[in-house]
A and B are shown apart, each in its own frame.
Chain A
Amino acid sequence: MATTIADTTTAGRAPAQGAGFLFRAAAPEEVFTPEDLSEEQRAIAKTADEFWQSEVAPKLEAIQHQAPGVATALLRRAAELGLTSVVIPEEYGGMGLDFTSAAVVTEALGRDGSFAAWLGAHSGIGTLPLLFFGTEDQKQRYLPKLASGEMIAAYCLSEAHAGSDALAARTTAVLTEDGRHYRLNGQKMWITNGGAADLYTVFAKVNEKLTAFLVERRFPGVKQGAEEKKMGIKGSSTCAIYLDNVLVPVENRLGEPGRGHVIAFNILNLGRLTLGPGTVGSAKAVLAASLGYAKERVAFGKPIAGFGLIQHKLAEMAARTFASESVSYRVEGMVTKAAGELDWRDPAAGSRVLKAAEEFAIECSFVKVFASEVLDYVVDEGVQIHGGYGYHQDYLVERAYRDSRINRIFEGTNEINRLLATGMLLKRAQKNQIPLLEAVKKLQAQLLDPLSTAGGGKPAEGALAEQAKKVALFLLGISYMQFGPAIEQQQEVLAAISDVMMYAFVLESCVARTAKLGVRGRNAAAYTTLFAHQAMNEVERVAAEAVAVCSEGDTRRTNLAVLRKLTRREVADVVTLRREAAKRLVEHGKYLV
């Protein structure tokens, strides 16, 4: 069985289709990587980095303590350079650049969770609904002010009893008798930028159906609650927004009545994608701080960077950051490519971007889940490397540790995203958009043959990624056989399948990037081997649990044997790889590809 499933089942299918990775091995040249950024995008990253170093970094302590006006002044300063309006068209005062350019800005300015929240809430979820769904009049009225930072934006979806289940919102909007206004009543919770925003995108129900509105702070009846006392990102503003008989002109309804869910869910897809580069920026900052500390700190007569257990942490932090960076930019590239050249004079441009993000919604969820969990790992080990000092607020890692935690919660919790990923896959299969059933059947037939673990001359890690995909198909097959459509109630199984697919997809992204880097990558090959080791261990662990719950007796034993065959691999000398990768990192002093 030298050929992979994908080779035979997807002939003639478009290569860049959502969930397509499951049926087809990607050629490296199809995969977008950070090394493929254009000179212009690199120049933009440099400007963002210089702005960070010279203006944001010195103010981090003031931001952290919510010193009045500091964060908003920095946002406005960022706006002068164009950093808050990357994708806004020029005719509305923006830069008219692409989403990948926005991603590099997000990475450079994502190093501090609080400032990243200010920026993301303003120029991401705060501005994009208007850009994508606004009428010409709405865009004329508000976009230039958002681009220049004259107005700060916020996005109001969550409520006390409606978080992941946004459709449970209770805020209402009733058309007034004269038909000129909507009267909004309700409370919105966890509103990032809430305390300082001038323009809120508020979701409220018109006749029980979610609808979006552009609500200005100065409209009578809009009130902000007290700043919430949060675990992390303490320098960001988060509060409740109270809407008490707020009269919103009908011209400020965003999109069609009852179509608010389209806006809410599509913006979330982009938000999940953006979380990738943002957390990568944080992870690189924590790694650099940890490398610096490990080099300086002497214990038992030598710098702790010389100890194997510290090297283990440093190398794993870098390897997983590499994986997170690779998958984030890969999906960024997939969405950008699918959206095509954007001409904002074309009224359909916005919907093309959203369609592209929707097409790759599964991949966007993988980015969100994976990147947030990598950052949590990185900050955790960062604190550990710092020892007692890592527990002290004078050190960057202490703050990063607390700030990281929210990433697993917002933009849809990681649990919701795991369920969504498998759920969407099953829906697509039902609609015959993907050849899932054929692939599962094909695999089952192949499983009767003696297995070969080789993947036809591909590097070992590439073959492992293909094997992991087979594990996912295998689980999909046996779980559907066991539960039928009721599989949707089996959250643990759905999450396990999602994890297996995610690790396969991320590993494939690392393999492709490493191949493209070739000799230019000093650590990339080691990172990919290290990540393959971790990924396959995880795949095996979660898949075994799923197999066990899906079958019993002899069938379970047979299924577990199949799983063992599918995940059969040689363990590389990861200890030596980590030591060597760590040495190069320590010498370099920061993240190194």
Chain B
Amino acid sequence: MKIIVSVKQVPARDSNLRVASGGKWLDDSDLSYEINEPDAFALEEALQLKDAQGGEVVVVCAGPERAGSTIREALAKGADRGIHLVLPEDAVLDALSTARLLRHAVKNEAPDLILTGLQSDDLGYGQTGVVLAELLGYAHATIIMQVEVLDGALRVKRELEDGWFQYVTLPMPAVLAIQSGIKKLRYATLMGIKRAKMKPVETILAASLGLELGRAAIERVYLPARSKQSQILTGAPEQVAAQLVEKLKFEARVL
């Protein structure tokens, strides 16, 4: 089974996130970067499928030079080879552009399965996997919690709202957008890290592909304005309780 995992490198959650002076993106002066969390689970799912079924795991990443470390982290965990679509340092692409790049990288690979995280921690579009599937003409499903390989097909468990789940059977090849937290992530062992240096990574300059990229742009990045409104309810405890329930139901809409 040949599985492609699409991963993204994003600003680390524990780094100092500040809006840059231009107000269009983050101040990168002391950002550190890490693998997008849902992508880490997509990689784990792929590695477990490979452990069970045999085959190959290819990791694909569109990102600047520094994203190479995320590819090597995936290789250290057990992916077999990598494809790096190299973007300029400051590129922030929309979902369609990223999907076009990814399609270029995978179209000659003829994979059985493409796994990706359901969304990215930085932009959070949640569209790239689905758009990629459409561009490739593959079946797709999102918010996947479990993958079962049948004879030439897949049976997947999707997370719906309110604790509901949906089981879907779909043909291969397919694109699955994986939910975070579905498996325990493996470590990159020290031997894996050492061996990763020997694994092949193909680098392709995104600019050399002649694709139309980056039609959408970010206008403004800002912190949510904080507003605090307090109301003090007065009266007998029963009345106050009744008022509170009323407000929680119809104003806060949390009941």
Which residues of A come within 8 Å of B, CB atoms?
Answer: 39-40, 42-44, 46-47, 50-51, 80-83, 86, 95-97, 101, 519-520, 522, 587-589, 592
Contacts and interface: CB of A to CB of B under 8 A. Distances in A.
B73 interface: yes
Interface in B180-227: 187-191, 193-194, 196-197
Given A39-B69, A588-B16, 13 more contacts: A40-B193, A43-B69, A43-B72, A43-B196, A44-B193, A46-B73, A46-B188, A47-B188, A50-B187, A80-B189, A81-B189, A83-B190, A592-B30
A440 B73 CA distance: 53
27 contacts: A39-B72, A40-B193, A43-B72, A43-B188, A44-B190, A46-B188, A47-B187, A47-B190, A47-B193, A51-B187, A81-B187, A81-B189, A81-B190, A82-B190, A86-B190, A95-B190, A95-B191, A97-B194, A101-B190, A519-B29, A520-B29, A520-B30, A522-B30, A588-B16, A589-B14, A592-B16, A592-B30
Given A39-B69, A40-B197, A82 B191 contact: yes
Contacts of B76: 43
Interface string B157-197: 00000000000000000000000000000011111011011
A95 B187 CA distance: 15
B73 A43 contact: yes
B189 A82 contact: yes
A82 to B, nearest CB: 3
- Residues of A contacting B: mostly: helix
Nearest to B73: A43
Contacts of B72: 39, 43
Interface residues of B, number: 17
B24 to A, nearest CB: 21
Contact of A95 (B69, B194, B196): B194
Interface in B126-152: none
Nearest to B32: A42
Contacts of A86: 190
**Residue in A42, A44, A522 with the greatest tally of chain B CB atoms within 10 Å:** A44
Interface string B63-99: 0000001001100100000000000000000000000
A82 B16 CA distance: 31
A99 B76 CA distance: 20
Contacts of A39: 69, 72
Contact of A96 (B29, B69, B194): B194
A83 B189 CA distance: 8
Contacts of A42: 69
A43 B72 CA distance: 9
Nearest to A86: B190
Interface string B3-25: 00000000000101000000000
Contacts of B191: 82, 95
**Residue in B29, B69, B191 with the greatest tally of chain A CB atoms within 10 Å:** B191
Contacts of B30: 520, 522, 592
A588 B188 CA distance: 27
Q: 10 closest A-B pairs (Cβ-Cβ)? A: A82-B190, A95-B190, A43-B193, A81-B189, A47-B187, A47-B188, A82-B189, A588-B16, A82-B191, A81-B187
A10 B189 CA distance: 45
Contacts of A96: 194
A51 B187 CA distance: 8
Contacts of A40: 193-194, 197
B236 to A, nearest CB: 34
A47 B30 CA distance: 21
Nearest to B34: A46
A588 B76 CA distance: 30
Contacts of A589: 14
Contacts of B73: 43, 46
Nearest to B188: A47
Contacts of A97: 190, 194
Nearest to B185: A50
Contacts of B16: 587-588, 592
A97 B29 CA distance: 31
A292 to B, nearest CB: 13
Contacts of B188: 43, 46-47
A372 B76 CA distance: 35
B29 to A, nearest CB: 8
Contacts of A101: 190
A592 B29 CA distance: 13
A239 to B, nearest CB: 31
A449 B197 CA distance: 58
A592 to B, nearest CB: 8
**Residue in B14, B190, B193 with the greatest tally of chain A CB atoms within 10 Å:** B190
Contacts of B29: 519-520, 522
A288 B14 CA distance: 13
Contacts of A587: 16
A86 B194 CA distance: 11
Interface in B17-56: 29-30
Interface string B93-129: 0000000000000000000000000000000000000
A47 B185 CA distance: 12
**Residue in B29, B30, B72, B73 with the greatest tally of chain A CB atoms within 10 Å:** B30
Contacts of A50: 187
**Residue in A40, A50, A86, A587 with the greatest tally of chain B CB atoms within 10 Å:** A40
Contacts of B187: 47, 50-51, 81
A42 B32 CA distance: 12
Contacts of A95: 190-191, 194
A281 B72 CA distance: 26
**Residue in B72, B73, B191, B193 with the greatest tally of chain A CB atoms within 10 Å:** B193
Contacts of B189: 47, 80-82
Nearest to A590: B14
Contacts of A588: 16
A99 B119 CA distance: 39
A499 B187 CA distance: 43
A79 to B, nearest CB: 10
A241 B25 CA distance: 62
A81 B194 CA distance: 12
Contacts of A46: 73, 188
B199 to A, nearest CB: 13
A9 B187 CA distance: 52
A39 B73 CA distance: 10
Contacts of A592: 16, 30
Contacts of B196: 43
Nearest to A41: B193
Nearest to B16: A588
**Residue in B29, B73, B189 with the greatest tally of chain A CB atoms within 10 Å:** B189
A345 to B, nearest CB: 17
A82 B189 CA distance: 6
Contacts of B197: 40
A96 B73 CA distance: 19
B78 to A, nearest CB: 13
Contacts of A82: 189-191
Nearest to B30: A522
A94 B92 CA distance: 42
A101 B193 CA distance: 11
A393 B180 CA distance: 36
**Residue in B73, B188, B197 with the greatest tally of chain A CB atoms within 10 Å:** B188
Contacts of A519: 29
B171 to A, nearest CB: 37
Nearest to A83: B190
A82 B188 CA distance: 10
